Structure 1
Amino acid sequence: MKLIIIWLSLCLGQLIAYTATAHTKTHLTDGPTGITFFTGSWKDVLAEAKRQNKPVYVHVYTTWCPPCKRMTLEAFPNPKIGAKFNVHFINYQLDAEKGEGIDVAKRYVVSSYPTALYIAPNGALIHRAVGYTGINGMLDQADKMLETPQLRPTVARGDKDYADGRRDPAFLKKYLKTRQQLNRPTTELLDVYLDVLPASERLTNETKAFVAEALQSSTTKAFDYLIKNRSRIPTSEPTQQSLETTVSDALIRALDNDFRRASATSDEVLLETVIANSERNMASANPFVIRQEAQKEKAANDYRLKFLTQTNNALK
């Protein structure tokens, strides 16, 4: 009991800190339909670029630069900009006069603002563009960058068709496989695939196995789909038992991915989502077993204590 009280006190402090910064963080990193900017250090963004095998678009700005402010108000919330840049790049922004922005600006010889840097996943500079040329100018510039020999290998086949609105199931399935091979995220794409899949194909074992293999997060329609439909997998045949194992492993993997992400970003909201989804997973795996509230609370507190330990260690 004392341990829980101590934990609750510590957790409340973190929750207050998180709440205080949540609005500012969201405001700075993305718009509802526009470009989404990666948050983290310069080292982190390059690591993410390597993980996704995508180039980095860097918006280097200053607080006193009028064209920079115009870009923030006009270009970054634009749906066309979001569709193009979110698909093809890891997007990042730096104040050239603060923090890491000072060193990055020197490293890539930035002297005018805004400056767009196009960086390969290994950190090599591919192109430097100065000024703001409007929304169409940014789109044209991105297309030219994606055609350069240095960046072309980082672009998965199908990126352009997807950005242009292609959504037929056969294409999406092939595109999903390509992104998996390149170790690029599939979360949003997998949900889109399920949305357009014909009803006649939604509950086939082939679809369940495919969704399970591509699943990366528990905060998705794909996770809900597997939770709701795992009870429809018969277990009398060896092949069906194998499918049940595949689905079970996928659900656990998705929960683990989200818990690691929550711990890495001190995201307590995501943590509580993981706890709720973990309980749903347990219930769907054992539909005839009624878990007591004490069991549920213990499982939830185990998650919270592990989260608290990892986030505290990260601060040391």
Structure 2
Amino acid sequence: MNTFFAHLALSLLLVASFSLSARSVAPAATSPEGITFFRGSWKDVLAEARRQNKPIFLDIYTTWCPPCRRMAREAFPSPVLGTKFNTHFINYQLDAEKGEGLAIAKQYAVASYPTGLYLSPTGALVHRSVGYGGVKAMIDLADHVLALSPMKPTLAKGDKEYAKGRRDAAFLKKYLKTRQELNRPLSDVLDAYLDALSEPELSQPESIAFTAEMIQSSTSKAFDFLIRRRLYLPSDLLTVVTEAQQRVISRDFNRAVTTRDQVLLEQIITNNERLLTAINPSRSEEQKQTTAATYRQSFLQEQNIITDSAR
């Protein structure tokens, strides 16, 4: 993968140099509808919790448990609970009698259902709740857990205000910096920040440089924003923007490989081509097809490497 990106980086720099000489001169305002549960293996959950520096809410249930069914029917679809739990936790469910649930239930000594486990990003048990006492009780318990000292390093200042719908630009800028310090995802908040700026503010070099610093994905509004703003940037800021866009394309490709996500791969190919074409509008159809084929071939090669290493 390193060879592949070294080649792409060199290509980008060459095209960028050509372009510069010719010119002379990187969840959302709406409320969630219920708790969103992470999909993937337990190993994936832990990796995502560490990546976001977020605690885990683990619901361990059985199919025959009446309180489990009531909680699933009554609590999990609640928008109020969704706002609270989606903001502050990586949420996950396991059937205690199937698959990984057997080992995880044993690991955490679960004997009654439903059991809610509140875990640190590393999987350490912080708090255990047994049974279901209603939506308000779950909200009160979440507030209690989040106030415990092991959880405080995972909380971004401003989480509560953002969850309530605060979207002014000054607040969002500070909130983005805090989330960045805690290694929390930034894309949705960054997109909201751009939506909050006026057109004159969007044109300011400070806004463009800040976006380049914060951008985390090529599938975000922020990537589109930087594409549109490239044309009239001074050379030093254009270099910063190009490096930021190249960085997130590389990051997205690594994520596509890890998750075996071919849909994301095709999005990356499209966005990378948009960037290359913005840098050099004279790119030929053959060049475009060659770049796309290189991405797809590298993706398949990385899948084979992952498969071989797992044997």
What TM-score do you get using the length of structure 1 for normalisation? Answer: 0.83
Partner residue in 2 for 1:300: 292
| Counterpart-to-counterpart distance in 2, 1:187 and 1:146 | 24
Alpha-carbon deviation of 1:161? Answer: 1.4
| Counterpart-to-counterpart distance in 2, 1:279 and 1:132 | 51
Partner residue in 1 for 2:176: 176
Q: Please tell me whether the aligned partners of residues 50 and 121 of structure 2 are also in contact (alpha carbons under 8 angstroms).
A: yes
Relative to structure 2, which stretch is displaced further, 273-282 or 87-96? 87-96
Alpha-carbon deviation of 1:63? Answer: 2.3
| Counterpart-to-counterpart distance in 1, 2:32 and 2:305 | 33
Relative to structure 2, which stretch is displaced further, 195-204 or 185-194? 195-204
| Counterpart-to-counterpart distance in 1, 2:166 and 2:48 | 26
| Counterpart-to-counterpart distance in 2, 1:155 and 1:305 | 40
Which digits, 9 at most, give the CA deviation of each residue in 1:55-112, with x for residues without a partner?
A: 1110111222233233333333332222211111111111111222111111111112
Match of 1:44, as an amino acid?
Answer: D
Q: Please tell me whether the aligned partners of residues 59 and 94 of structure 2 are also in contact (alpha carbons under 8 angstroms).
A: yes
**250, 254, 269: which is aligned to 2:248?**
254
Match of 1:262, as an amino acid?
Answer: A
Q: Please tell me whether the aligned partners of residues 32 and 77 of structure 1 are also in contact (alpha carbons under 8 angstroms).
A: no
| Counterpart-to-counterpart distance in 2, 1:315 and 1:78 | 40
| Counterpart-to-counterpart distance in 1, 2:158 and 2:32 | 24
Give the unaligned 5+ runs of structure 1.
1-30, 236-240
Partner residue in 1 for 2:54: 54
Give the unaligned 5+ runs of structure 2.
1-30
Partner residue in 2 for 1:232: 232
Q: Please tell me whether the aligned partners of residues 60 and 105 of structure 1 are also in contact (alpha carbons under 8 angstroms).
A: yes
| Counterpart-to-counterpart distance in 1, 2:249 and 2:69 | 39
Partner residue in 2 for 1:310: 302
Alpha-carbon deviation of 1:118? Answer: 0.2
Partner residue in 1 for 2:116: 116
Relative to 1, partners in 2 of residues 1:69 and 1:305: Cα closer, same or farther, differing over 3 Å?
Answer: farther
Match of 1:303, as an amino acid?
Answer: Y
Q: Please tell me whether the aligned partners of residues 32 and 83 of structure 2 are also in contact (alpha carbons under 8 angstroms).
A: no
Relative to 1, partners in 2 of residues 1:80 and 1:315: Cα closer, same or farther, differing over 3 Å?
Answer: farther
Alpha-carbon deviation of 1:310? Answer: 1.4
Partner residue in 2 for 1:6: none
| Counterpart-to-counterpart distance in 2, 1:56 and 1:280 | 37
Alpha-carbon deviation of 1:140? Answer: 1.6
Q: Which has the higher contact order (CA 8 A, sep 6+)?
A: 2
Partner residue in 2 for 1:275: 269
Partner residue in 2 for 1:74: 74
Q: How does 1:148-167 map to 2 (within 5 A)?
A: 148-167=148-167
Relative to 1, partners in 2 of residues 1:306 and 1:143: Cα closer, same or farther, differing over 3 Å?
Answer: same
What TM-score do you get using the length of structure 2 for normalisation? Answer: 0.84
Q: Please tell me whether the aligned partners of residues 32 and 82 of structure 2 are also in contact (alpha carbons under 8 angstroms).
A: no
Q: Please tell me whether the aligned partners of residues 218 and 277 of structure 1 are also in contact (alpha carbons under 8 angstroms).
A: yes
Alpha-carbon deviation of 1:32? Answer: 6.7
Poorly superposed stretches of 4+, deviation over 4 Å: none
Which digits, 9 at most, give the CA deviation of each residue in 1:138-186, with x for residues without a partner?
A: 2221111111122122211111111122211111100100111111110
Q: How does 1:142-221 map to 2 (within 5 A)?
A: 142-221=142-221
Q: Please tell me whether the aligned partners of residues 176 and 190 of structure 1 are also in contact (alpha carbons under 8 angstroms).
A: yes
Partner residue in 1 for 2:9: none
| Counterpart-to-counterpart distance in 1, 2:247 and 2:75 | 37
Relative to 1, partners in 2 of residues 1:309 and 1:73: Cα closer, same or farther, differing over 3 Å?
Answer: farther
| Counterpart-to-counterpart distance in 1, 2:32 and 2:146 | 25
Match of 2:113, as an amino acid?
Answer: Y
